[in-house]
Structure 1
Amino acid sequence: MIYNNALFRKGVAIGSICALFCSVHPVAAQQAPTKTQSPTEKKPETAPWEWFGITGQVTATLQSLFPFHSPYEGANSLPSRAETEISHTYTLYLGARLSQNLEAYLDPEMARGKGIGEALGLAGFTNGDVIRNPTIGEAPYLGRYFGRWTISTQPGREKVEKGDNVLAGMRPTHRIVITGGKFGSNDIFDTNSYANSTRTQFMNWSLLNAAAYDYAADTRGYTQGVSVEWVHPDWALRFGSFQMPTVSNGTDLAGDLVHSRGDQIEIELHPLLLKTSGSTIVRLLAYRNLAAMGNYRAALQQGLSAGTIPDITAVRRKGAVKYGFEINFEQPLCDNGDTGVFGRYAFNEGRTETFAYTEADRSLSLGVQVSGKRWRCSRDHVGIAYAQNDLSSPHKEYLEAGGQGFILGDGRLNYAPEQILEAYYTFGVSRLVGLSLDYQFIAHPGYNQDRGPVSVVSLRLHLAF
């Protein structure tokens, strides 16, 4: 890949400075062990079973795009004019325990507002809370409805705290977990403690998940399917199969699972690389999508033969295959894991059209989260990260010839990797309320070095209850 060395060095340098906070410890009184428990022994944790649970969230994000250089624009370009938009989402997480090992969940949700530029023109779009199809409407909908069955494979139990789609209680430390219904495939796969929530962490798509991981989802980010997880304290193995949309970025899911589905397998390892902090978590993922997708080379050839602009939708073929791979890591550094670094690298075969997430064939991200415990503000967090997205040769040539994807299409292309630097500060106003200030700098928006750079400032209010 080609890197903007100055931008990359800035990201690495700032991240290194943030990581150095771990060497500065606030002064605190030493706690003596109680008389009823020795300092080397722990009583087995127990927790009461929660049989019904309700949590929820409200997030409002105000984003302002500053004017930037742009000698031309296409149908799917990010507009170069100044623009300010607001998005707001509302979610209820409803859970019921049917037995100690079986749970059911229902998540009604509503998403309103829109993103800058109608969420077009950037592979790494700036707001992960935006619905990418502006025609879908703003009425409430059921985001998730699923069941979770947990099977113990060995003795041993651990405490589970209450959370969104998590009921408090106990669960086996060695277990098989079967999840089925409607949910996000990225609820299970490609998770990361420091970069996985647009509502509390980084906002850019390239930092929520690996941009080159074209995971099965409708335009709202949900799908239907089943996942199986085999969990051990030192590792985990996951497999999932999910429905693909009928068209790229579509609202409807295909029912022909023989020719349209997304399969993935992920291995999670917990090596202890830094003895002074928690275990590193490394996730290795492979995926394969089947859908009625087009081929960039075929679209180019057809356009050349007909003397027209290539159109990927005209060469779609039932049961076309797209596959890819990813490595994802997180390393806690201090503050009981609240400060840590993370990274992802992913690539896909690049010949078949992007269908569900965003237009990227190779993607890299690296970042750090620092806890406000460093400066006695335990609810605060700072995050800074660098991301880079690249296209395959066929995908690049398709856009150069004037072709359009479901996100990109400037009408022409002077190619360069799309590079992103994002930083945020979250003020923990209270246990339930967080206010974040976020800045994103994007070089070569939509992989076009004729346009940009782009600056976006965001203010985000998040309420969890």
Structure 2
Amino acid sequence: MKKIHFIAATMWFLLGATLARGDDAPLFIPQWLGAQYTFVDQHQSPLHSPYSGPLSLRPQGDTERSHSFGAYFGVALPARLQFYFDVEMFKGEAVSGATGLGGFANGDVVHSGGGALSKTAYVARRYLRWTLPLGGDMQTQQRGQGQLPDQEGSHRIEIKLGKMAVSDDFDKNRYADAARTQFLNWSLLNNTAWDFAADTRGYTEGLMLGWINPAWSLRYGIYRMPTQANGTQTVTSLRRARGEQLELTLQPIPDGGVLRLLAFRNIASMGIYDDAIAIALAHHATPDIKADDQPGRRKYGFAANGELPLADDGNTGLFARAGWNDGRTESFAYTEVDRTLSAGAQISGKHWGRPSDIVGVAMAMDALSPAHRDYLALGGDGFTLGDGALNYARERIVEAYYNLALVAHLTLGPDIQLVHNPGYNRDRGPARFVGMRMHVEF
């Protein structure tokens, strides 16, 4: 029955989209907001590996291809309400099964659900959005994914309720925010120390409240946590488990630099690394963080995120992120990183006569808390890491990409990455990744 309802809803949106593709947004008529296809062909070279575990990068190397498809719709409703509905599909695999790194090399494969989920179409987002103007100028919002064409107040209240990605509204960055068009590595897409609520595909259900102003904005979000680390199901009761974040965005000069300051807290059935280690030592066994899961455990952290436009109407600029979490409780939803620092640059091809081309260069450094590294050193597994042992060192990542605009709506470009101490293990690596990405977007 659920499948029938899904098919019927999708057909209704597709039919309505053919009727309304102008710049207006008539009430109750579905609007087609965009579609995309992204192909990534990525090769991981062989690496030095005196030992490996079940979640290590494959020492012999690997080559995989991934495909993601998306179609995005919206409906204008009365009283400044809007409804958004996105359908996506993922095909293919990630090199080394998307394990063995804190900052994994292909950020688009998060939508595969770890390779264990169906390869058929799924609903990515399904939410209501409401805005309330508070005065000031009315601004024209252009059609785009998650945005119906409309007039919205520069000072406004914004509310979103339903299924979405937490990163749709938090930790945004103009230069490092989308694996399909910018950096591929997870550590350059979001603040990896921010263990935000999500199911295996990267989505969850929740509520976002925003107070938006030209020079500053304040957002609060509360979302369902997964039932287990990297799980496909989310907890239904926010009293039992939830992920909360509060973010202040500062932009004192229009089109100038932006600083975002974020704090988060997760409550879920999580394990504690020191407890798992103590139990294992007492029983002469390998520590198992999942066996220590108990409801009501808390994890908290902080993140900072900045972007600085330099030239070319902002298409050339710099960015940086820094993040920290307590590292005491189990890494649960995004990846296994407890501290992170990243910085990079985007350069417009205008400087060599190709204004639609883009070059990106960045580096990131990820680290673990003492308890987390001790757990892995004793042979414990997380959900992305597990070499069977650990000679700890910070994971260091360098990435560069070039987006070549072949024709309108189509880009093609190489991507290269070098990772020292993959999985925080000095005994292994370095790991090298070479990829080719094709992206089509309408």
Q: Name the amino acid aligned to 1:149.
A: W
Shift of 1:417: 0.2
Structure 1 unmatched runs, 5+:
1-46
Equivalent position amino acid for 1:69 in 2: H
Match of 1:49 in 2: 24
Corresponding position: 1:450 with 2:427: yes
The AA in structure 2 aligned to 1:58 is Y
Identity of aligned residues (%): 45
5+ long unaligned stretches in structure 2: 1-21
Return the match for 2:376 from 390, 396, 399. 399
Q: Aligned residue pairs: how many? A: 415
What residue identity is the alignment partner of 1:291?
A
Q: Find the counterpart in structure 2 of residue 236 from structure 1.
A: 217
| Partner of residue 9, structure 1 | none
Match of 1:204 among 166, 181, 185: 185
Letter in 2 for 1:49: D
Does the CA-based 8 Å contact 1:388-1:420 persist in structure 2?
yes
Corresponding residue of 1:90: 69
The TM-score with structure 2 as length reference comes to 0.92
Cα deviations by residue, 1:155-174 (Å, 9 ceiling, x for unpaired): 31011111112112211110
Distance 2:356 2:25 in 1: 26
- In the TM superposition, structure 1's runs of 4+ consecutive aligned residues that sit over 2 Å from their partners are 47-53
Is 1:79 the counterpart of 2:79? The answer is no
**1:371 aligns to what?**
348
Report whether the alignment pairs 1:181 with 2:162. yes
Question: Residue 281 of structure 1 corresponds to which residue in structure 2?
Answer: 258
> What amino acid maps onto 1:195 in structure 2?
A
Mean Cα deviation higher: 146-155 or 203-212: 146-155
Q: In the aligned structure 2, how far is the partner of 1:282 from the partner of 1:100?
A: 32
Aligned in 2, Cα 1:155/1:271: closer, same or farther, shift over 3 Å?
closer
Secondary structure class of the residue paired with 1:259: coil
2:148 aligns with: 167
Displacement of 1:48 in angstroms is 5.4
Residues of 1 paired with 2:261 and 2:57: CA distance? 33
Instruction: Map 1:314-393; keep pairs closer than 5 Å.
Output: 314-393=291-370
Q: How far apart are 1:136 and its partner, in Å?
A: 1.2
Deviation string for 1:313-351 (max 9, x for gaps)? 111110100000000000000111111100100000000
Whole-Å separation in 1 of the counterparts to 2:355 and 2:239: 50
Alpha-carbon separation, structure 2, partners of 1:132 and 1:456: 21
1:50 Cα offset (Å): 2.8
Q: Which structure: larger Rg?
A: 1
1:91 to partner: Cα distance: 0.5
Question: 1:171/1:100 Cα in 2 relative to 1: closer, same or farther (>3 Å)?
Answer: farther
TM-score normalised over the length of structure 1: 0.88
Cα distance change, pair 315–170 in 1 and its aligned pair in 2 (3 A): same
Q: Out of 251, 271, 276, which is 1:294 matched to?
A: 271
Q: Name the structure 1 match of 2:228.
A: 247
- How far did residue 271 of structure 1 move? 3.5
Q: Superposition pairs for residues 96-245 of structure 1, below 5 Å?
A: 96-99=75-78, 101-130=80-109, 131-245=112-226
The answer as to 2:441 corresponding to 1:461 is: no
Contact 1:119–1:132 (Cα < 8 Å) also in 2? no
Deviations 1:75-105 (A, max 9, x none): 1101011211000011000111113721111
- Mapped contact 1:379–1:431 kept (Cα < 8 A): no
- Report deviation, 1:223: 0.5
Give the 3-state SS of the residue equivalent to 1:399 in structure 2: helix
Q: What SS does structure 2 have at the residue aligned with 1:441?
A: strand
